[in-house]
Amino acid sequence: MRAFVTVIGGDKVGIIHDVTTVFKETNVNVLDMNQTIMGGVFTMIVLVDLEKMNTDFQGLKGKLEETGQQLAVSIRIQREDIFNSMHKI
C-alpha cells in the first residue's frame, strides 16, 4: 500500500529531518518527495510505500501528528486511493 503525506506550516530548521526520522523509525520507504517554500510557508508532499512498515496505519498517523505538533506544522497522511479520488478533476 502507498500513501501521501502532506506537511504545511511555517518554515523552520528540521522539518524534513523530523518527518523522515518517523519514516525511518517505522520502516516506511520514501518513493517521491516534493518540497517548496512559498512566502515563508513550508509545503511538502511525500509519496511513501507502507508495505514493510513495522506499525499499523493508525500508529504511523499518530507518530506523524505528534511530530507535527512538536514542529507546529500540519502533517496529514492519506492512502493513495483516497488521495487520488479526492484530487481528480
We report the CATH number of the domain holding residue 13 as 3.30.70.260
Of the CA atoms within 13 Å of residue 88, those in its CB half-sphere come to 5
Statement: residue 7 has pLDDT above 70: yes
Which residues are CB-neighbours of 29 under 8 A, at least 6 positions away? 23, 48, 49, 51, 52
Q: Which domain holds residue 62?
A: 2-86
Domain tally, the chain:
1
Give the residue among 6, 86, 73 at the shortest CA–CA distance from 46: 6
Strands (E), the chain: 2-10, 29-38, 41-49, 73-79
* Per-residue pLDDT reduced to its tens digit, 16-37: 999 999 999 999 999 999 999 9
